[in-house]
Amino acid sequence: MLDEVTVPRLVVAGVRSGAGKTTVALGLVAALCRRGRTVQTYKVGPDLVDSAYLAHVSGRPCRNLDPWLLGDTGVRRALSGGTVGADCAVIEGVMGVFDCHGLRPEPSRALAGHPFPGSTAEVAELARAPVILVLDVSSMGETAAAVALGVRQLDPDLPLIGVLLNNVPSDHQRRLVEDAVWDLAKLPVLGALPRIDAMAIPEWHLGLLPVTENPRVDEAIRHLATATERHCDLDLIERLMVQARPMPAPARRALTPPASAVRLGVAFDDAFCFYYPENLELLEEAGAEIVPFSPMDERSLPRDIDGLYFGGGFSPVFVPRLSANRSMMESVRRAHAQGMPIYAESGGLLYLSRTVRTMDDVVHEMAGVIAVDVGMDGGEPRAGYRELRLMSDCLLGPAGTRLRGHEFHVCSILGGNDCLRPVYSMHHSDGEPLGCEGWASGSMVASFVHLHFGHDPGIAERFTTRMFDARRARQGAAREAQPV
């Protein structure tokens, strides 16, 4: 990890969700890659769908910068670790530039902390990165200048370096808006992307269509890259990225050398693709060799593994294929029966459940490790930051351990939820109690919540230690079973 982050970088911010931050960020990354740059991408907040698109375009894992999940030090550590080997970095914001957990009370603003905690503006300050503001002007004229000026005046410390217009309906509209922003907001207009249907990223009821389900993603990215090259001043944008101030990197974390390496099977295919990169990196640092496998396409688990990790990304379109692979599910059941440590979150919980009912009312048999039935009802998503406390000792830590994560799904438990002990007591980020969450059975933990291990790197060490202990116990049992 670097002692100081000096790589050129910028933040792509907006005034609301749906303004085109992802479109602009993807276009910039694709155009910079065409110039031969090695681009590291980041996403403000916990979102994993946008992150997957950014990773797909850059060819490097996208990292999440989330002050609530990671704390200030964790954000800087994620940014510092990601820039190794990169020429530049693009950070996509979240919601509006000042949106997140609410305005900090006035008496505490002068003492410590950003006035808009958890916002894109706070991340820009932590990253010491200049900001480009994206404005959707599909139905806006000179008022765009008032919006840009308002953002600039609301936080004079925000390093706002320019505006980029999106969904520009005509050359005439572009000239009107550009002149107004320059003359009234005193900000440069760095580009203006027209509305081109071929550039659009499809959406479904939960936001952007996941990249693994978008067959035209590469075509759309090619159009975006070409439009960005044609309609944006990339030379100027690159010069402005150099204005990012050096950011001192956090001190390297002291690591306890693992007693022995273990092998962790990680489900990774189109159905299981939502992982925070730091989770896997921290597991490797703790002594785990990552062994990817596909629950959809492979017939059994990899040989000689000591634990299993099932992440998210589980979509209804993959349920029939997963359910049809009975030999893989039987392999998972045997591993659980033999005491193998298993951690599953979100889609992983669905895979380990007894049955999953999709939105077409078809019930599919799943692995049956957890005797619960789940419905993918397609209603309003259950979403938000989650403050968690372990209710009993498990592979994640001792009872009482506090963890942080994020929940985002449209599933409901249809039956069997009293069969196992709950893993967490859960609260919303504002302290509102939300009851219990997840289940534990033996060496297994499964929950709808995505944990970011960067908040507590000890999670990875405890998980790895549990795998090592389980392997040693298994080897001891095998020796005792040998005939004398």
Burial of 51 (0-12, 13-18, 19+ CB in 10 A): buried
Amino acid type, 79: L
3-state helix, strand, coil split of the chain in percent (to 5) is 35, 25, 35
**The pair of three-digit structure tokens given for residue 434, joined into one six-digit string:** 């939300």
pTM, two decimal places: 0.93
SS3 140: coil
Residue 257 pLDDT:
60
Residue 211 pLDDT:
81
Residue 280 pLDDT:
96
Residue 192 pLDDT:
96
**Bridge partners for 451 per DSSP:** 405
Buried b (16+ CB within 10 A) or exposed e, 83-113: beebbbbbbbbbbbbbbbeeebeeeeeeeee
d(CA 6, CA 19): 29
pLDDT per position as a tens digit, 264-321? 999 999 999 999 999 999 999 999 999 999 999 999 999 999 999 999 987 888 999 9
Amino acid type, 355: T
d(CA 335, CA 339): 7
> Over the chain (484 residues), what is each successive 10-residue block's mean pLDDT?
86 94 96 98 94 95 96 93 95 96 66 84 97 96 97 95 96 96 97 82 63 83 95 97 93 68 95 94 95 97 97 87 97 96 95 93 94 82 91 95 91 73 92 91 92 93 94 76 64
Residue 453 pLDDT:
95
Residue 255 pLDDT:
64
Residue 482 pLDDT:
67
Q: How far apart are the first and last CA of the chain?
A: 52
CB-based contacts of 392-398 (< 8 A; 24+ apart in sequence): 392/421, 392/423, 392/440, 394/423, 394/440, 394/445, 395/341, 395/343, 395/443, 395/445, 395/462, 395/463, 395/466, 396/343, 396/423, 396/445, 396/451, 396/459, 396/462, 396/463, 397/456, 397/458, 397/459, 397/462
140: alpha, beta or left, given left = phi > 0 and alpha = psi -120 to 50? Answer: beta
Residue 204 pLDDT:
57
Are residues 229 and 31 in contact, defined by beta-carbon separation less than 8 angstroms? yes
Residue 421 pLDDT:
85
Residue 199 pLDDT:
67
